[in-house]
């Protein structure tokens, strides 16, 4: 939930409120109880910079996804194909 900043137009009191984005703006000042609160325009607390995050950012080596041959377990594949998941001890 974002933190919104408000300022009272009557007494000048500044107030912060943790609210849902869909919540109605506050109107009553907590200091003077007058319906004079106005939401202030403020910058976000953080900024996303750069080109973004990629799957390869934290992996070691120079291999790319898809360059490794896929490894499969021949014992479990027939069970998956037939819809059974009881393993090699199953009589199905």
- Model confidence pLDDT, tens digit, residues 46-63: 666 667 666 666 666 555
Handedness of CA 46, 51, 56, 60 (dihedral sign): negative
Q: Where are the domains of the chain?
A: 3-39
- Model confidence pLDDT, tens digit, residues 22-31: 999 999 999 9
pTM over 0.75: no
Q: Rounded distance, CA 8 to CA 39, Å?
A: 9
Q: Count of alpha carbons within 13 Å of 72, Cβ hemisphere only?
A: 9
The predicted pLDDT at position 72 comes to 53
At residue 16, the 3 state secondary structure works out as strand
Residue appearing with tokens 């069970």: 79
The predicted pLDDT at position 41 comes to 84
User: Where does the pLDDT of residue 92 fall: very low under 50, low under 70, confident under 90, or very high at 90 and above?
Assistant: low
The predicted pLDDT at position 2 comes to 85
- Model confidence pLDDT, tens digit, residues 64-78: 555 555 555 545 445
Q: Rounded distance, CA 55 to CA 52, Å?
A: 10
């Amino acid at each position: 939930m974002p933190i919104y900043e408000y300022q009272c137009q009557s007494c000048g009191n500044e107030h912060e409120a943790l609210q849902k984005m869909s919540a109605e703006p506050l109107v009553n000042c907590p200091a003077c109880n007058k319906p004079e609160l106005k939401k202030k325009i403020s910058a976000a607390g953080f900024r996303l910079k750069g080109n973004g995050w990629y799957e390869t950012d934290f992996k070691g080596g120079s291999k790319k996804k898809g360059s490794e041959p896929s490894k499969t377990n021949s014992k479990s594949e027939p069970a998956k194909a037939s819809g059974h998941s009881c393993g090699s001890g199953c009589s199905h």
